[in-house]
Each structure stands twice: as structure tokens, then as C-alpha cells.
Amino acid sequence: MRRRRLKRRSFLVRSSAVLGTGCLATRPGGATAPKERPRAKHPPHPVVVASANGFPHCTARVMEELLGGSEVADAVVAGVTLVEDDPSDHSVGLGGLPNEEGVVELDASVMDGATGLAGAVAALRGIKNPSQVALRVMRYTDHALLVGEGARRFARAHGFPEQELLTDEARKIWLYWKSTLSDQDDWLPPDPAELPPRAKEMFGITGTINCDAVDGQGNLAGVTTTSGLAFKIPGRVGDSPLVGAGLFVDNEVGAAGSTGRGEANIVTCGSATVVEGLRQGKAPVDACLMACRRIVEATRVARLRRPDGRPDFDVKFYAVDKGGRFGGAAIWSGGRFAVHDGKGNRLEDMAYLFES
Ligand code: ASP
């Protein structure tokens, strides 16, 4: 873990001038944005944001690392590692839902503002911490993205152990999906009594963890890690390992990441759009709403739209800027995100475009 000397800033000297705008409750698009203030050079205290599955452990760990002097990229990776290691989270790392053939394939990216470098892996099999592998791609190669077998070999070369990532529970959910796909084949559904709770709700689910942070010196980093779309076609790569889509960081401006339908985010460069919004001086919540709107406008084909024309999927964005302002927004209402800003480790409601 890389550590740098920390200028520890007091929890108490928290200037409202810099941290004023967090998540402004659910502010549907069209509402008047607050007057923007000049962007601060650094926050009075480190700030961490994450998708809701980062609460409470990931965000707490990242804050602990930052206060202990870790570099921001190390801190965010240490935080999401806890979720990758957790077999009960079926959207990330160990226990992630597999591809259609029952094989877990993981995607992750890391981006470091201070160096302007990124590292990523996609369709990585057998290694439970793709975020750590992505960090090594960033630091120990001249590349930004390794995929499939090459990513696996690179991870092995760096000493990552190989293991079966398909837990028994994830295997049962996958088998249930497979056996109920068609009544024209020879697969029969299992006894419902043997099914994990909520097995059916997992069909076609997405899930991921994104975590972004700024330290007391205004250095930013972010990470996004996922098992991707449940039961995907083998080799499918989502937005999470794609810099600009599932993650983007600019040390002069802010960091943003995303969860939700990756294909929609890829074609709109979602996280880069959020950071561009921050660059224009938008509050993080408004920059996130702007990226959501961009996706709505770009969703033109009927199979992705409800009868009223709105997208039949969700995408969520999380952002923190250089001054420590933070926010999150989604296409649909009901989402929450995790934040730890020295005032506490908590979940907050996301802003949204449409009421679910
Ligand atoms: N964005 C991820 C993907 O498309 C999934 C998710 O976040 O729900 O792979």
C-alpha cells in the first residue's frame, strides 16, 4: 500500500463554502440549480462516494486509508476489495453471477488523478480481485486495458491466486436461469425448496461497485469493479472497465463512476460526461443528471424503451469534485448512494429524472 505524508485536516474546520451542495435530495430534471461557487482547490476533509453496496464497509475503509495517508487509488481499491471478497454480493468478485455458461468473468478499472493514468481488466476469469489487478496494470505496464486470457496470465504473474469464483449459491441461481430458459429443451427446473431466496429476481440483474474519492490535498481517484450483466454472452465487456464510460477522473476537476446498464453508458461516455459537467462548474448532482439525460436522449430503439418512450433500464452516476462536493443521480427514482465526508458514513437519496 503506498502512503504519502498526510496533512491531516481537522474534522471541525469544514467550510460550507466548499461542501455546500452534496446531494440536493431528489431534484428532478428541470429544477433550478443553485448558484455555483468557484471550484475549491482541495476539500477540508477527504470525501468518499460509492454505490449503495459500498455502505458501510467500503466507504469506511477508504476513509480510514485516506486518513492514514494512503494514496487515493490505493484507498479506493482497498475499499472495493472488501466487496469483491464478499460472496453474498452477487454483482462483484467472488460469488458474482456467471456468464451464460456458468463461468464468472470480472471487469474492473482504476483511474488515478495525480498521475493521469488508468488501468483496467475485462473478462478476467478465476481471480477474485480484478480491481487490484487493474491497479497493477496501471502501475506496472505501459497499457491501460488487458482482457481475458492475457489479463489472467498477467494476474498470475503478479502472484494473484487462481480460484473458482462461482459459489454454490450463485451456481444454483445460474442453473435455475438455465433450466427455465426454454420448455423446448431437456433441462428441468430444480425443486423450488432448493433455491436461494430471491433467485428469480436475479435474472438479468446488473450490479457493480463504483467508489470515488478526494483526499485532503485535492487528489482524486476512482475504481469500478463488477461481475457485469448476469448470464451474459461469454466475452461480453460492460462499461465498468472502460475509462470514460464506467469511470473517469481528472485531477483538476473531479471523479465520477457508474452502475447500471453498461451498454447505454458505453455509447454515451457517461462518466466522462459527468466530469465534463463538473469542468463547466456544475454541482456533482447536476453533472450526474446531465449524463442521465444524455442516455435518455440516446435511447432510440423500441426494444429499450417503455411505451411512454422512457428507457426501460436504469443507469446511476456517482461523483465527487476536487473541492469535496459530491452527488449522485439516476434515470429512475429510488436509488441511494454511499458517502463518507467526515460528517459521517451514510446513505443518501439520489436525484433522478423519472419517478419509478
Ligand atoms: N454496469 C455494469 C455492466 O454493465 C453492471 C451494473 O452496474 O449493474 O457490466
| Ligand 1 site, CB within 6 A | 206-208, 226, 228-229, 238-240, 259-260, 262
Q: What distance in angstroms lies between residue 130's CA and the mean position of ligand 1's atoms?
A: 15
Dist CA 106 CA 98 (whole Å): 9
Q: What distance in angstroms lies between residue 341's CA and the mean position of ligand 1's atoms?
A: 26
Ligand 1: which atom is nearest the Cα of residue 236? 9
pLDDT tens figures, 117-132: 999 999 999 999 999 9
How confident is the model at residue 203, as a pLDDT? 66
Q: What distance in angstroms lies between residue 92's CA and the mean position of ligand 1's atoms?
A: 10
Q: Which segments of the chain have a pLDDT < 70?
A: 1-40, 198, 200-206
Longest dimension (CA), the chain: 67
Dist CA 309 CA 293 (whole Å): 13
How confident is the model at residue 342, as a pLDDT? 86
Mutate to test the pocket of ligand 1, among 97, 121, 203, 226 (most ligand atoms within 8 A of CB): 226
* 156 residue type, one letter: R
Model confidence, pTM: 0.88
Dist CA 31 CA 21 (whole Å): 15
The catalytic residue among 81, 167, 208, 226 is 208
Asked if 166 and 227 touch (Cβ cutoff 8 Å), the reply is no
CA dihedral of 353, 340, 121, 83, whole degrees rounded to 10: -100
The closest residue, in CA terms, to atom 4 on ligand 1 is 262
Helix locations, 4-110, DSSP H:
16-19, 57-67, 72-84
How big, in percent rounded to 5, are the helix, strand and coil portions of the chain? 30, 20, 50
Burial annotation 87-102 (CB, 10 A radius, 16+ → b, else e): eebbbbbbbbbbbeeb
How confident is the model at residue 200, as a pLDDT? 67
Q: What distance in angstroms lies between residue 226's CA and the mean position of ligand 1's atoms?
A: 7
Mutate to test the pocket of ligand 1, among 99, 240, 258, 265 (most ligand atoms within 8 A of CB): 240
Asked if 206 is an active-site residue, the reply is no
Mutate to test the pocket of ligand 1, among 90, 147, 229 (most ligand atoms within 8 A of CB): 229
CATH topology of domain 47-354: Glutamine Phosphoribosylpyrophosphate, subunit 1, domain 1 (3.60.20)
